[in-house]
Structure 1
């Protein structure tokens, strides 16, 4: 199985109206967030203002979780609200006007409508089911190697995204350290849902 390893220091960073964003992954490879011609985008952003408005992304669904601190999300189009502690997952339509209260570093999944994205937080070793695209993100914001933890043959390190495509058998994630938390995201064809 081929695993692509993307540490934060090798990812592309830019600014948005409320802070900075780091793009770990975008597909297709030649697509662009600015042109809105991507199918999948995985990123992490800082929210540096007490209150901010998220970019409207018509035609996309989103999953977001704070990695640090907490965020309050509300939407102009619906009565839904989210009070997100670190690793609480929120699913919402990218077309909604999203108001955010709170400063944090977050983790974002954006997928074109028609794709199915799932997200889970893993704390123990597991076999990861095959999917068109699978991602794990090691939540430690320190880019240090983790003792005895690995995905298949690849040793894990903090603040790093690992991407692998559909394989013939489940991939094995081994977590040695107690208290370690891993974000596990899959993207397949079909409507978007949150596990």
Structure 2
């Protein structure tokens, strides 16, 4: 099983009007978020400024969840929702969006050509992947990712991505390896 671990110190940090964003994963690798020529973007933002407008990502679906803190999301003309840690909001990337609340969030952006989803997994929980494609895991704490005879440790704050999933695969999580 082929995989890549992306270390948190290798994340690319960008400034935005509400704080900073750490770009974790971009697909294809040759794409650029500023040009919006990517298909998938995974990032985590440190949101420090209430009411700061979100970047316009027309043509993308945005999935967001707070890792720490709470976010009261406002999507002008659509809906608003209060997100506590690990609650998920899915919205059109072109919507006029802002939030109130200090938080560290986790974001998945998918172009209209891709379908994606965020799902928090708890210790000893499993997920079965039925479709081919890309799957990634962000370790909130030290974790071990398993699938059949395969096992890999992922330190807290790092991201692991599998690009070669082409059959039904079950992954399970064992968290808190070091206490």
> Is the shorter-chain TM-score for this pair beyond 0.5, marking a shared fold?
yes
1:25-65 Cα offsets, whole Å, 9 max, x none, are 10111111101111000000111112211111111000000
The answer to whether the 8 A contact 2:71-2:83 is kept is yes
Report what 1:9 is aligned to.
Answer: 9
- Which whole-Å CA distance do the structure 2 matches of 1:44 and 1:27 have between them? 16
TM-score in terms of structure 1 length: 0.81
Q: Which residue of 2 aligns with 1:135?
A: 136
| 1:151-170 equivalence runs, <5 A | 151=146, 152-165=150-163, 166-170=165-169
| Whole-angstrom distance in 2 between the partners of 1:98 and 1:107 | 16
2:23 maps to 1:28:
no
Q: Distance in 2 between matches of 1:174 and 1:36?
A: 32
Gaps of 5+ in 2: none
Report what 1:184 is aligned to. none
Q: Match for residue 115 of structure 1? A: 114
Q: Tell me the TM-score normalized by structure 2.
A: 0.88
Number of aligned residues: 172
Deviation at 1:175, TM superposition (A): 1.0
In the alignment, the residues of structure 1 paired with residue 17 and residue 157 of structure 2 have an alpha-carbon distance, to the nearest angstrom, of: 23
| Segment of structure 1 superposing worse, 152-161 or 126-135 | 126-135
Give, in whole Å, the separation in 1 of the partners of 2:53 and 2:10.
27
Equivalent position of 1:88 in the other structure:
87
Residue matched to 1:68: 68
Q: 1:45 to 1:176 in 2, by over 3 A?
A: closer
1:154 alignment partner, SS class: strand
Residues 145 and 153, structure 2, Cα contact 8 Å, conserved in 1:
yes
Which consecutive aligned stretches of 4+ in structure 1 deviate over 2 angstroms post-superposition? 149-153, 171-174
Output the CA distance in 2 between the equivalents of 1:70 and 1:76.
19
The gaps in structure 1 that reach 5 residues or longer are: 181-195
Q: Does 1:40 align with 2:40?
A: yes
Secondary structure, in 3 states, of the residue corresponding to 2:35?
Answer: coil
Q: CA deviation at 1:118?
A: 1.6
Q: CA RMSD in A?
A: 2.0
CA separation of 1:168 and 1:75: change in aligned 2, threshold 3 A: closer
CA distance in 2, matches of 1:91, 1:30: 26
Q: What's the offset of the Cα at 1:156?
A: 2.2
